[in-house]
Amino acid sequence: MSAAVRTGAGVRLAVHAAQRLFSMRVAVWAVAGVAVMTALAAILLPGGRGTVSPDAASFDGLPQVGALFQGAWRSEPHFCTASVVDSSSGDVIATAAHCLSADAKDLVFVPMYHDGQAPYGEWDVTGAYVSQRWLQHQDPQADFAFLTVGSRDIGGTERTLESVVGGDPLVIGTQPPQWTVAVGYPAGMGGQPVICLNQAVARHGYPSFRCGGFVDGTSGGPWLAGFNSQTGRGELYGVTGGRHQGGCADWVSYSSSFGADTMAVYRQAATGQGPDVVPTARPVPC
């Protein structure tokens, strides 16, 4: 993602979205809880701004969403975002293909990273999986990737990543849902992720999403439909990427359209088939 994103919908949509989100019985869910609700409320009910969803809100994060680092996370900046995908193997995360190069085994995933903290530890990437369309042509409609991570010994028990933080189910072939929650990590050292709720629409043949704050580093972050504020979970139907590797303008982000090819790549990762060697992404002019 090479630019920030802003929204331009009206106040009535803000009120409707807030009513829709908060009409559910609100509870403090396991870890992020109130932080998620506070962040979304700040977005949906901006005082005197006259827009539905201005800049995204910073928060401590979601357990299943984290930052990608190349090398030691304590001393290196995070550069992209990834999230855990529900799978039988429990070791699959999703990101954008343009975030990767080579076998990606030099990468580390830190779920719910914030303010220099790693509440669920670090997880080493063990393999990368992308579409043949990305391998051969870097097709922007195939700007998605799945990574596998190794298990960890926690308290004397070998645990998979998903067994520790949970995951969101992958869905394909859907139209952009009325409401989307997007999460991403602005690149750099330390800091917090950002979260935003707004309508997603089709634009230039890609799902698109308007919200300020989705800058470099938010690429690969999840786009969640049917987000449940009590559980902090939703359905993964996109990741920031696609057109212009996520967007050039400072007011809109994009995702590749998830289809049968996406599901096929996901299954390769979930079943531990031979991983790919990913070409370094070419610069995309705007």
Beta bridge partners of 85: 168
What percent of the chain has a predicted confidence (pLDDT) above 70? 81
Q: What is the pLDDT of residue 34?
A: 52
DSSP, collapsed to helix, strand or coil, labels residue 281 as coil
Mean pLDDT across the stretch 221-241? 94
Q: List, for residues 83-142, the tens digit of each pLDDT value.
A: 999 999 999 999 999 999 999 999 999 999 999 999 999 999 999 999 999 999 999 999
Of the candidates 155, 72, 160, the one whose C-alpha atom is nearest the C-alpha of residue 110 is 72
User: Are the C-beta atoms of residues 98 and 238 closer than 8 Å to each other?
Assistant: no
CATH code of residue 157: 2.40.10.10
Q: What is the pLDDT of residue 11?
A: 28
Looking at the structure, tell me whether residues 190 and 226 fall in a common domain.
yes
40, 53, 127, 204, 264 from 12: Cα distances, Å: 16, 11, 46, 26, 40
Mean pLDDT of all residues in the chain? 85
User: Of the given ranges (120-129, 171-180, 270-279), which has the lowest mean pLDDT?
Assistant: 171-180
Q: Would you put residue 268 in left (φ > 0), alpha (ψ -120 to 50) or beta?
A: alpha
> Is residue 282 in some structural domain?
no
Q: List, for residues 208-229, the tens digit of each pLDDT value.
A: 999 999 999 999 999 999 999 8
DSSP 174: P
Mean pLDDT across the stretch 167-184? 92
Cα separation, 121 vs 157, whole angstroms: 15
Looking at the structure, tell me whether residues 52 and 185 fall in a common domain.
yes
Q: What is the pLDDT of residue 178?
A: 78
In the chain, where do the E strands start and end? 57-58, 65-70, 78-84, 92-95, 107-111, 123-130, 145-149, 152-154, 157-159, 180-184, 194-198, 200-203, 206-209, 222-228, 233-239, 253-254
Instruction: State both tokens at 225.
Output: 């439909």
14, 36, 57, 218, 245 from 185: Cα distances, Å: 24, 15, 11, 5, 15
Beta bridge partners of 129: 146
* pTM for the structure as a whole: 0.85
104 contact partners, CB below 8 Å, separation of at least 6:
125, 127, 128, 147, 278
Cα separation, 205 vs 203, whole angstroms: 5
Looking at the structure, tell me whether residues 130 and 251 fall in a common domain.
no
Looking at the structure, tell me whether residues 186 and 150 fall in a common domain.
no
Looking at the structure, tell me whether residues 46 and 77 fall in a common domain.
no
Instruction: State both tokens at 102.
Output: 């080579």
User: By residue range, what is the domain housing residue 213?
Assistant: 11-61+169-258
Of the candidates 143, 93, 130, the one whose C-alpha atom is nearest the C-alpha of residue 277 is 130
Q: What is the pLDDT of residue 135?
A: 98
> Is residue 6 in some structural domain?
no
Q: pLDDT band at 54, cuts 50/70/90?
A: low
User: Of the given ranges (121-125, 150-154, 228-232), which has the lowest mean pLDDT?
Assistant: 228-232
Sign of CA dihedral 223, 75, 158, 31: negative
Instruction: State both tokens at 184.
Output: 């991403």
pLDDT for residue 17 is more than 60: no
> Is residue 43 in some structural domain?
yes
Total of domains in the chain: 2
Looking at the structure, tell me whether residues 157 and 195 fall in a common domain.
no
Cα separation, 266 vs 239, whole angstroms: 14
Looking at the structure, tell me whether residues 92 and 51 fall in a common domain.
no
> Is residue 2 in some structural domain?
no
Q: What is the pLDDT of residue 46?
A: 42
Looking at the structure, tell me whether residues 177 and 251 fall in a common domain.
yes
Looking at the structure, tell me whether residues 178 and 249 fall in a common domain.
yes
15, 178, 284 from 23: Cα distances, Å: 12, 17, 42
Looking at the structure, tell me whether residues 144 and 265 fall in a common domain.
yes
pLDDT for residue 264 is more than 80: yes
Looking at the structure, tell me whether residues 119 and 40 fall in a common domain.
no
Looking at the structure, tell me whether residues 157 and 91 fall in a common domain.
yes
